[in-house]
Structure 1
Amino acid sequence: MLLSRPTDLAAQFEIQRHAFAREPYPSHDVRISRLDRLLALTESHESAIVKAISADFGGRSAHETRLAEIFVVRAGIRHARSHLKHWMRTRKVKTDLQFRPGYNRLMPQPLGVVGVVSPWNYPFQLAIGPALAALAAGNRVLVKPSELTPHFSALLHEMIGTAFDPGELRVVTGDAETGKAFAGLPLDHLFFTGSTSVGRQVAIAAAANLTPVTLELGGKSPAIFDASCDVARAVRRLAFGKLLNAGQTCIAPDYLLVPAGTADSVAAQLSAVIAELYPSLANNPDYTSIVSARHRQRLVDLIQDARAGGARVIEVNPANERFDDTSSKLAPVLVVGATDSMCVMREEIFGPVLPILEYHSVDDAIARVNRSDRPLALYWFGRNLANRHRVLRETVSGGVTINDCLWHLAQENQPFGGVGSSGMGAYHGEWGFNAFSKQKPIFHQARWNGTSLFHPPYGATFNWLLRALETIS
């Protein structure tokens, strides 16, 4: 696959910039046409998408790709189609008495050319999700997929090229250097999904052009088992959330907090549930591989560091299969007794490794969450409403699912995004449309109005009117 050089990027950007200048406010019908074509590509290439992503992972569950990528994208497109006319409307806005009979309106305006830099872990969903929102908002879109998913990136380039003019939607491919050049383009908005460390670099590159950014990052997302929770039900839902895509999910539970004295029991129940969900691992098509040997070795190093530090490491390997350095898979691992000094508690894990920590009170659990950077997600399991309200009010996270994992991401009627080190900005549904629009305030002045009384020369009348306005505003 040919790489896109910086000169190619600049040329492709100019194509879209000029296309936007010719049509700065696409009609509803034009935008629907673009969404329809995107939906048609999603449905006609489902099998090819599944195969390409599996090839990049060295084995990725087809069911997980269909659920976490194709289903999510399809739902997002259909939601946008259904609501687009409402989102596009110029809205009435309240006008204060002193400015009447003038009136206010708020008009959503397309920004121009939007850049999307997508990651390897959900390459279809995290490329097309932001792109569909930008297209719905009337923009032109450039997508830079990850170099770690070359099969899928080539497929996406081919798919988009068959259905879209380069001035509408274009995929550019290349390595990390291409990504740096992409972030340095004078885009009208840049959307990045990836690690916090790379997100900082992207924000710095975009700042040179004053390009606004949406950053969807990661961090250590906690799960909390309250003393009131149904543990048997909670561990099954937690296991699903943790092991989807073999833990290579930005909102996967990164560590589990359980009441004091229950870590061993919870670990035993989790192990049993994991064995039930995945009775074998090596040749099980439901259990996804680790994307690369480098990433797998990083996870192995995290486990070895925890073991060397005195933590109890529990490998969940129901069929007692052998996983050596040549394997692309990694058996699920529970880490009981991890400490803050261990790498597994300092780094985002992004794999099938789950530390289990005990807490003594709700205050203790809240304090533990708040000692770390603000996470992208938080999961709370329990029936005690007072404790739930405290956790929701006294912690800050990008989003929350109660009594389950991950599902807040799939809500098109709610925003999805991070906070602090886990990101800035939000998208999905109307929030995605608004992220890629300028909400332009417009004041319509009436022919007959009283504002001329504020014109110079200033004097007693001006002073009286200003005092009068201050009493009613």
Structure 2
Amino acid sequence: MTVATASRESQHIFTLQHIFNHQRSEFSAQPMPDYASRVTALKQLKTALLKNKEALCEALAQDFGHRSHQDTLISDILPCVMQINYTLKRLKKWMRPSRRHAGLLLMPAKVEVIYQPLGVVGIVVPWNFPVMLSLGPLISVLAAGNRAMIKLSEFTPATNKILSSLLASLFEDAQVAVIEGEADVAATFTRLPFDHLLFTGSTAVGHHVMRAAAENLTPVTLELGGKSPTLIAPDADIAHAVERMIFGKCLNAGQICVAPDYVLVPEDKAQEFISEFKQQFVAMYPQGVHSRDFTSIVNQRQFDRLNLWLEEARHQDVVIEPAHPEALDDKAHRMVPHLLLNPDENLTLMQQEIFGPLLPVITYRTIEEALSYIQQRPRPLALYLMTHDAALQTQVKNNMHAGGMAMNDTIFHVAADDAPFGGIGPSGMGHYHGKEGFLTFSKAKTVLTRGKINTAKLVMPPYTGWKAMLQKAMMTFFLR
């Protein structure tokens, strides 16, 4: 067994290293793809994505056991199409060198910043949105003129088959290569000396990825998760607040890195919140777990994890309110949202990112208490505030840390094409989307150009005579 494992790992290393070397060699031969070739690649990708959208919806439904086609169109297909359209309209401007001021000290000279492709970029894709979280980063990578190796999740084999075929029809392996395999392949993948590595996944695995990348001093963008709070302020109308947050918790059955992880509610409005959530859920999904529009938990392992956390809460006599009487389907690993009122902080679901349809409801007496509760915990990937109090909006916007924020809404800030997306601290580092994606996968290189006049001689030794007097005058002028 040991020999077989070692042999298999050696084969992984050889294959991945071969693909990487090929891409690096091809990039060296063409280090600055022109605007036309980048546009062509993006347009072809869009055409292929639209052509395969139904096949991708079917594949994701197969991988999840059941996944609403509309969930896939909204959260996987549409964001990629919108991102391509946005990028195509602005790419020429992004690629232009930007002029900078040389300043009096360097005159006469020209200073500009050019945006060069980094080279070969690694993309590690999770299972929850395998289309958006593979093609989304790829759009930015290609726009910046790079080559890419994409490690797909082993938990979405049907989707992987469509994605692999789609990308193989457009690109040679020397430009875009798709990698499949278990955790051992992923570990080998992250140890490659990429010019940049983007990982989307859990905070726990993010630690391992960053350690692997550090061996090669590979820059990383980590899109992790954490416990994203929703704060319902005292002035908020509960019905409106639930309406703004419920879709963010129910889309993809809550298997979203920016889904509301827990909600803070004024103490005297907790029961109203629970009743309103259940009422609105039933209106959206009348058959509960059997509703065609509600997505399954991706596999038995994740379903068992969520059930275990629920059982742990029941054992501690936590009040648990399913959002619908038809709450569980063990065979199809489906689960409606379960609201848990003031669960103990020591419970697993209060310590780890939930990533599913469990929703702790935490009550508070004062807004200061609620804000303190959030601030005492690791910085989240997203923060949601339900209020029309302008002063409170300003206070939270300026003083609270999170990767991103939405007021009177949830999750949709991620869909803003003209804004960066990324975490902070335990919820990630770096960002991409839109122009920030282009910049993340580019090297902003400063270029200073001088003509025939060399004013630099004025600051060269020897520091005597007239030079000494000139430099003294310069220092008097500039050091003030």
TM-score using structure 2 length? 0.95
* Contact 1:413 1:430 (C-alpha < 8 Å) held by counterparts: yes
Distance in 2 (alpha carbons) for counterparts of 1:442 and 1:91? 10
One-letter amino acid matched to 1:328: H
2:364 corresponding residue in structure 1: 359
1:425 corresponding residue in structure 2: 430
Shift of 1:348: 0.4
TM superposition outliers: structure 1 runs of 4+ over 3 Å: 460-471
Distance in 1 (alpha carbons) for counterparts of 2:440 and 2:404? 17
2:418 corresponding residue in structure 1: 413
User: In structure 2, the residue corresponding to 1:262 is in which secondary structure?
Assistant: helix
Alignment of 1:192-271 (within 5 A): 192-271=199-278
2:334 is aligned with 1:329: yes
Distance in 1 (alpha carbons) for counterparts of 2:240 and 2:114? 47
User: In structure 1, the residue corresponding to 2:91 is in which secondary structure?
Assistant: helix
- More deviation in 409-418 or 5-14? 5-14
User: In structure 1, the residue corresponding to 2:169 is in which secondary structure?
Assistant: helix
Distance in 2 (alpha carbons) for counterparts of 1:159 and 1:436? 23
Alignment of 1:340-351 (within 5 A): 340-351=345-356
Of the three residues 20, 25, 48, the one matched with 1:18 is: 25
Of the three residues 35, 53, 56, the one matched with 1:49 is: 56
One-letter amino acid matched to 2:279: A
Of the three residues 249, 269, 276, the one matched with 2:283 is: 276
User: In structure 2, the residue corresponding to 1:367 is in which secondary structure?
Assistant: helix
Distance in 2 (alpha carbons) for counterparts of 1:357 and 1:455? 67
Distance in 1 (alpha carbons) for counterparts of 2:428 and 2:289? 35
User: In structure 2, the residue corresponding to 1:380 is in which secondary structure?
Assistant: strand
User: In structure 2, the residue corresponding to 1:334 is in which secondary structure?
Assistant: strand
User: In structure 1, the residue corresponding to 2:70 is in which secondary structure?
Assistant: helix
In structure 2, the CA distance between the partners of 1:231 and 1:323, relative to structure 1 (3 Å rule), is: closer
Distance in 2 (alpha carbons) for counterparts of 1:156 and 1:326? 28
Distance in 1 (alpha carbons) for counterparts of 2:327 and 2:228? 30
**Is there any run of 5+ residues in structure 2 with no aligned partner, and where?**
1-7
Distance in 2 (alpha carbons) for counterparts of 1:464 and 1:300? 80
2:444 is aligned with 1:439: yes
Of the three residues 134, 137, 140, the one matched with 1:130 is: 137
User: In structure 1, the residue corresponding to 2:335 is in which secondary structure?
Assistant: coil
Deviations 1:193-218 (A, max 9, x none): 00000011001001111110000000
Alignment of 1:30-429 (within 5 A): 30-317=37-324, 320-321=325-326, 323-429=328-434
- More deviation in 101-110 or 454-463? 454-463
- More deviation in 302-311 or 345-354? 302-311
User: In structure 2, the residue corresponding to 1:191 is in which secondary structure?
Assistant: strand
Distance in 1 (alpha carbons) for counterparts of 2:412 and 2:471? 53
Distance in 1 (alpha carbons) for counterparts of 2:471 and 2:295? 68
Shift of 1:395: 1.3
RMSD of equivalent CA atoms:
1.5
In structure 2, the CA distance between the partners of 1:102 and 1:266, relative to structure 1 (3 Å rule), is: same
Distance in 2 (alpha carbons) for counterparts of 1:224 and 1:469? 56
Distance in 2 (alpha carbons) for counterparts of 1:158 and 1:401? 37
TM-score using structure 1 length? 0.97
Shift of 1:229: 1.4
Distance in 2 (alpha carbons) for counterparts of 1:185 and 1:155? 26
In structure 2, the CA distance between the partners of 1:472 and 1:288, relative to structure 1 (3 Å rule), is: same
Deviations 1:201-255 (A, max 9, x none): 0010011111100000000000011111122111012111101000000000000
State percent identity of aligned pairs. 38
Distance in 1 (alpha carbons) for counterparts of 2:318 and 2:262? 14
2:4 corresponding residue in structure 1: none
In structure 2, the CA distance between the partners of 1:288 and 1:103, relative to structure 1 (3 Å rule), is: same
**Is there any run of 5+ residues in structure 1 with no aligned partner, and where?**
none
One-letter amino acid matched to 2:388: R
Distance in 2 (alpha carbons) for counterparts of 1:114 and 1:382? 41
One-letter amino acid matched to 1:419: I
In structure 2, the CA distance between the partners of 1:102 and 1:283, relative to structure 1 (3 Å rule), is: same
